Every structure is written in structure tokens, then in C-alpha cells.
Structure 1
Amino acid sequence: MSMHRVSIGVAAIAAALSPVLMLTLQGGTGYCFFVVLAFSLLWLSQAENRRQSRELLLRYKWYVVAMTAYPLAIGLQALLTGEVPSRAFDSPSRLLLSVPIFLLLAAVPAERLRPFQWGCVAGALGACFWSVLILFSPAEWVMSGRAGNPFTNPIPFGDTALVLGFMGAIPLAERGRPRWEQVLRLLGLAAGCYASYASESRGGWIAIPVMLWVLLCRFDLARMRPRRLMLVFAASLTLGAMAALNTPVVQSRIAAATSDFERLAQGDADTSIGLRLQLWQAAWTLFEREPALGVGKGTLKDNLQVLAERGEASPAIVHPHAHNELFSTLAEMGLLGLAALLLLYYGSAIYFWRHRHSADPDIATAAAMGLVLSLGTVVFGLTIDVFTLVMNTAFFGLTSATLLGIIANRTRQLEHAAQAAGPPRSTNA
């Protein structure tokens, strides 16, 4: 068996296992990531594969820019300032390494990457399993009364479960799906939503309307008119909100937020929301002092400690991250980092956006799943630093490479088929 076939087979299996293992096995997605990376480098050792890859790099240049700009910005900052610790490269390096992974996955036939969809369903069900365990072993599986697992904080746990549930449900819009498949995908969606609910991650809940809109837009292309789509979206959102508001978890989280704002209005900023606002303000202060390059990637905690010692910030907010991707980036990397972050957001989403209305089901489904991932990541970044976590970054990199690989491969298949068919024959006598 040739190295080409082995590389393609292993890459397809690892890509499908990644979402399954994301929240069920510590380091599971990381193992899948490096397996695909290793075989991508072997695959690229062949001259013909490198030639094909050059064409892909040009066609999907914004994705390449997205995955390289952020880590390269950190490298430039390190060269210019010398203020960047080596650990700061750990997570962003996964973005850079996603480029060769994409090149290999784009060579995998699109049909061989379809099991990735079921990997998302299985991953959402696995997250639900962990959430149910808290009912029996709260001391081991709960952090501050919230669902997670021994290796994942409740916030990224709930956010990732949502992404898995919605990505697994996107193919429901395709016609001809058997009933059992529809049921399993709906169960996966419900499981992902429950895991998010049990994690009590309010920031993740903000992304639900965005993901629901992406899902319903797929049904719009299949069988709905725009006006009916809007009605279904509004009705689904209203019914979901009404149901959630009657649950004790949502009621308690809303009550806690209301209490925080009331205390904040009375001058008491030592609450969950108050401390987060102070953290953002302190991050902005650091940005104002070093607007071009920031204080140094990975040095936010040290700089917040200095502010606290000077009496310019509360010691309670000294933390490695600002709990907001934008504020962390501005403080640590300045305008250079902001430009790199915006390129990451744009370049990782633009091809999914462009192909969302494709007439080909494989392309349209992959594009919609990619929008769930990319848009969800932007929303999650409002309340968490997504790309500082190695696990999250590896999952984002491998998942985006898989979905864009499906689009690239299927697009090439359709182009070859069109060329083989040749120009249409004239019907004139």
C-alpha cells in the first residue's frame, strides 16, 4: 500500500475521532492533531503532492493567512521586544501547523470525511454523559457546582459541547436522510445543549441564536422561504428561551447576574461581573501604555500584578487571561495582535461563508458546520480566551482544516467532472 493511500486513510480516521475525543479523553484531540500532522508531512514529501498543495495555498490564501498571522505576530513581537516567554507559542503554534494538515485533508475524498459528522454527534453525547455524571459524583465532576470533567473547565466544556451538538445537526437539512439518522442527530443536538446548560456558561448561551440561525438557514435552502424561516427562527428562539427561563439553573444564573449589576450600581465591584469589568479595564490600561506591540504575549498576569502592587488595580483580578479574547490580545499584543486576531476570524470564516449556498450538499453542509465553528468561536471570545487553551486551539485548527478540506476536495471533483463532460453541444440544426 502506497504512502499516499495510508496518509489519506489515517487522516480520515483521525479527523473523525477528534470531535469524539475532544471532551471524553484528556488530550484526545491533541493526539489526533499530531497524527494527522505527522502524516501530512510524510505526504508533502512527495513532489506531486507539493505541486497540488501550491495551488491550494493560492486558492485558499485567506485561510493560510488566518492560520499563520497570529503565531507569526507573536514571533515578531518576541524579536522586537524579547518580552515573550516560550510557553506563549504553545497554543498558537497549533494554528500554524494546521496549514499542512489542511493540505493533506484536501486530498482526502470528501465522502471519506463524512464520518466527521458522526464524530460531532458522538462527541456531544459524550459531553452529555459527563454532565449526567455530576448527579452521582458531584465532588469529582463538578467545579463550583457546574458541569465539566476532570480536564476541562466548565466554560470551554459547555461552549465546545454546543459546537459539537450544532455541527452534528447541520446535515439534518439534507434530503433523503433516514429517520433513525435524524433521531440520532437531534439527540446529539439536545445532548450538546444540555451539557452547555449543565455547565452554566452564560457566555456560551449567547452563541445559541447564531448557531440556530445557521442551522435553520440550511433548511431554508432545502425547503423554506425567507419569511417562513424568520418565523421559525423567532418561534424556536422564543420557545427555547421560555423553556430555559423555567429551569432552576438558568433562573439562578440570571438572578446572580442581576444581583451583580445591582451591587455594581451601588459601588460594589467585587462580584463576578464586577471583577470581570475591572479586568477588562486593567487590560485596556495596559494597551494604552503599549498600544503598538502590547506588554508581551503570555505576560498579562505579571503586568496585572504590577498594577495591583501600585494600587492601580485590585489584587483580585490578577489573572493570566482577561476572559475576553479582544482585551487579552490588545493588552498583550497591541494593535499588531488585534490585526492578527481579526485576520484569524476573517480568514477562517470567509470560505465557509462563500460556500454556504452551494448546490452541492457536501460543500454546503461543510460550510454551515464551519460557520458554526468560526462564528461560535467569535462569540465565545467575548467571555473566554479561546486561543490561549491548547486543547481549544488544536480542535479549532483540525476542525476548520477538515471542513475546508471537504470543500476543497469536493470543489476539485466537480471541476474535473465538468472538464470531462466538455462544453455543451449545440442543439441548432
Structure 2
Amino acid sequence: MFVKTMRDDKLSLLLTLIFSALCLLTAYRSMSMIAEVLLFIVLGIVYFKKSSIKEELNQREKLFIFAFIGFFVSALTSWIVGSGWELRSVRNPSMPSLIDLDLPSKYLLGALVFLLCVRLKWCLSPKVFGYAIGLGAMVNGCIAIYQHYQLGYSRVYGWSGIAEMAEASALLAVLNLVLFVFASCKKERIFYFVAIFLACLACIFSGTRGSILGFVVTFLFVGVMIFWKKRELLPIFFVGVLAGGLAFVPSLTLEQRQDTMRFDSAENDLKQYMQGNAHTSIGMRFEMWKEAIVMFQMAPFFGLTSAEIEKKMPEILQRSGSALVGIKKANPNNDARGKKHNQILNQAAKKGIVGVIALLLVWFASFRLFTPFLNTSGNSLIFSFCGVSILFYLIFPSLVGEPWESNVTLPLVTLLICAFYKIQKGQKIGY
């Protein structure tokens, strides 16, 4: 059925190739952004050429689009209220910097891509997309093994960044666990078992503690959902968890343990911080969080723009009692543009209450796309599990980073949401 549809529908074939390439090349930094722009161009052309194949939006779809646009509007409002244009561009000092609007503009693009994806009639093969997710995990795992053992990298990063490689690999691990549990035959289970192992290995070899803890906790969350909805699949779930557990074995060797897991260094960072040394990975995060709280107190409604942060840096440091005064004063421009290593605190500091509400609305609207389909069956159930699981996962890196403000992770997650929603909705309406 799908082969015939693909043969007759060149749009479905092209979009399937783009989504598959996205999964296969998550280790390449620009791939998610390239895929999103390509989808926008292709879908935009088709949308305006074929006016007869458009569908109406339901309430959940409208809410999701509104939430993404709202995130951009909240950033734009903060930028206007805080005279964000006063910050000068690094490359061209005669021009204003638009750094405060750079990432929020990706939300605007994401809203448009989702709108086009939903309104146009096309189909995405669950089998093909599932295999692409599995192969993408294997690619990341093989790259991690090569960089770690052959090139001697203590923290692998593919052709992206360390955090981005970790987040992409963790997301693939979670997705492959869900696909493993719902696989229809033994060969597929073997395929996804290997994919889980390699994706987890890539995440572990990145040495990113937040992502490692994130996929571990999300595995438990998937188990809770399976216990709730498909209790008979619990034994298979535990076998999938075993694949993830096996990925920790190489990191537990004596000579590799500290480099890969970095939990010993976390304990050491905490001890040094208690002794007054904040110049460690965790210590600097604590100081940034203190600064973010002070910034929120200074501008609770719309936050401080990068231009305002640069001007008020001495006051921020004084009021927060930051131990990083020397570093901040040496380069206030860089710190004004930087983030605070916590999604909620970063939003509160730079966009105030309005920004926090906008972020929470994005989270709520994203979950709402998938939760109604948890009561269905077949591919709708499988990919609603996938959608809810990756959204749950992204909560944990948000505690120590900003995955929802990443030029790599955000487009990836947006496109995965589009793909999962299209598959689950496609089964419901029969195309």
C-alpha cells in the first residue's frame, strides 16, 4: 500500500528521504537546520501550487503553532522593551546585534514547517522512518567508537558539539527503545537492540552527565508508560534496557571510567565549591544560576536583553555575590550573550515571566499533540509513545542546559515532532 502511494506521490517520497537523512546524519551539526529549511522550501512550494489538498487544523495543532509563534513574540517583545538593538554586532560593530532574536526565529520557522506538514496531504512510512532512526543510532555509535578508541578523544562529538552529539544520541536511544518494545518480529528486535546499545554508547562517550542521566530516567519513564498501557510488553522492555545497560560496560574499565562518566569529577567539583573554589564546571553553573535569579529580580516581566546585561554586569555581579567577577569583568560582552545553563532560569533572566510562560506553553502544546493518541493502537500508539518520551527526556537536559534554545537540537526535535504527529494522524485518517 505504502509503496504504491510513494510511487504515485513524489512529495511523500521526497519528504521521506529528507526525514530519513535527518536521522542518519544527526552527528553532523548543520543537518537538522538544513533539513528544516529544505522542508520549508519544498512544502511551501507545494502548498501554494496545490490548493486543493489542504486540511483543516484542529485545536491541538492550532495550540502548538500558537505556542511556537508565542515564543518568538515573547523574545521580540523583550528585545523591543529592553532596547536590544543597542548591542553591537561582533562581526560588524556598526550594525545592531540580533543575537536575542536568532534562536527565537527558529521557533517561527518551526511553526511554519509544522503548519505546512499538517495541512498538506502526504504520508511517511513508519517502517522506513523507524529503520532510519535505528541506522542513525548505529552511525552515531560507530563514530563514537572511532573517535574514542582510534582518535583518543576523551569526549566524542561527531561533527557537531559535545552537548549536541550527546542529546541526539540520547534521543535516538530513547526512540529505539520504544521501537524495540513494539517491534513486530525477532529480526527487528535484534536490529533495534544493537541500535539502543550504540546510541547509549555514543551518549556515554560524550561524557555529558545531563544527557546520560536524562536517557536513564527516560528509560524508566518509558517503562512506566508501558506498564500503564501495554503491561504484557514489560519483559521485552527489560531486554531493551539491558542493551542500554551493556553500553555502560566499556566506560567502567579502570582507565576509561573518569574520562567517560565524569561522575567522579562532579563529586570533586562539589567539594571544591564548598571550599570556595567556583572555577569548576559545576561551580560555574551555580554562580550563573545565582546571576540569573538576580537578573530576573531586576526585570521580572520581560527580562534583560543582552544589551542591558552588558551595561548592568557590575550590578549583577555585586548583587549576586558571584565568585566569577574576574572572568566576567574581563569579557562582559561574551557573558552578556551567553546562557545560564538552565532552561527555566535562562528564560526568566532574559525574557522574564512572559518568556517562562511562553516556554511552558511550548512544552504543554507539544505534549498535547501526542497524549490523545496514547489510547489508540498500531503506529499511532507507537509514535505517540515516541513523541511523549522525547519530550519527557528534554526536561532533564533543561536543568543543566538549554536544549530548547539550541540551533542544533531545537530543529531536530521540531522535525521529529512533525514526523511522529504525521504518522499517528495518518493512521487515524487513513493515508
Instruction: Compute the displacement of 1:80 (Å).
Output: 2.9
SS of the residue corresponding to residue 200 of structure 1 reads: coil
Match for 1:208: what amino acid? F
Aligned counterpart, 2:351: 333
Task: Write the distance in 1 (CA, Å) between the matches of 2:368 and 2:423.
Answer: 15
The alignment status of 1:170 with 2:178, answered yes or no, reads: yes
Q: Aligned in 2, Cα 1:111/1:218: closer, same or farther, shift over 3 Å?
A: farther
Deviates more, 1:314-323 or 1:188-197: 314-323
Q: Where does 1:30-429 land on structure 2 (aligned, <5 Å)?
A: 30-45=33-48, 46-50=50-54, 52=55, 55-83=56-84, 85-106=97-118, 107=120, 110=123, 112-134=125-147, 135-138=149-152, 142=153, 145-149=154-158, 151-174=159-182, 177-217=184-224, 219-220=226-227, 224=231, 246-248=252-254, 249=256, 253-296=262-305, 304=313, 307=316, 312-313=321-322, 314=324, 315-316=326-327, 319=335, 320-358=338-376, 360-413=377-430
Deviation string for 1:321-359 (max 9, x for gaps)?
11111111111111111011111111112222332232x
- Stretches of structure 1 that go unaligned for 5 or more consecutive residues are 415-429
- How big is the shift at 1:209? 3.6
- The residue identity in structure 2 corresponding to 1:161 is S
Query: Which residue does 2:91 correspond to in 1?
Result: none
In 2: Cα distance, 1:404 partner to 1:395 partner: 14
Q: Which moved more, 1:266-275 or 1:302-311?
A: 302-311
1:21 alignment counterpart:
25
Q: Which residue of 1 aligns with 2:90?
A: none
Aligned equivalent of 2:92: none
1:289 shift after superposition: 0.5
Change (3 A) 1:389 1:285: same
1:244 CA drift (Å): 8.6
Deviation digits for residues 228-269 of structure 1, max 9, x if unmatched? 78x959x96997799699455555622212222222222332
Aligned residue number for residue 10 of structure 2? 6
Shift of 1:117: 1.7
In 2, Cα distance between equivalents of 1:131 and 1:341: 32
Contact 1:73–1:340 (CA under 8 A) maintained in structure 2: yes
Instruction: State the AA in 2 paired with 1:7.
Output: L
1:423 equivalent in structure 2: none
Measured in 2, the distance between the counterparts of 1:159 and 1:183 equals 24
In the other structure, the counterpart of 1:419 is: none
Cα 1:306/1:41, change in 2 over 3 Å: farther
Structure 1 residues 325 and 302: CA distance shift in structure 2, 3 A: farther
Q: Cα distance 1:305–1:30, how it changes in 2: closer, same or farther (>3 A)?
A: farther
Structure 1 vs Structure 2 CA RMSD: 3.4
Rounded Cα–Cα distance in structure 1 between residues aligned with 2:134 and 2:248: 26
Deviating runs (4+, > 6 A) in structure 1? 235-242
Counterparts in 2 of 1:101 and 1:57: CA distance versus 1, 3 Å: farther
Aligned pairs, how many? 398
1:308: Cα distance to partner?
Answer: 5.0
Deviations along 1:44-94, whole A, 9 cap, x unmatched?
2133344x1xx2253422222232221121122233333164233332222
Deviation at 1:364, TM superposition (A): 0.9
Q: 1:421 corresponds to which residue?
A: none
Give 2:26's aligned amino acid: M
- Aligned residues of 1:203 and 1:380 also touching (Cα < 8 A): yes
Q: Distance in 1 between matches of 2:311 and 2:383?
A: 42
Percent identity for Structure 1 against Structure 2:
15
Classify the secondary structure of the residue corresponding to 1:323. Answer: coil
List gaps (5 residues or longer) in structure 2. Answer: 86-96, 329-333
Please tell me whether the aligned partners of residues 292 and 336 of structure 1 are also in contact (alpha carbons under 8 angstroms): yes
Letter in 1 for 2:61: Y
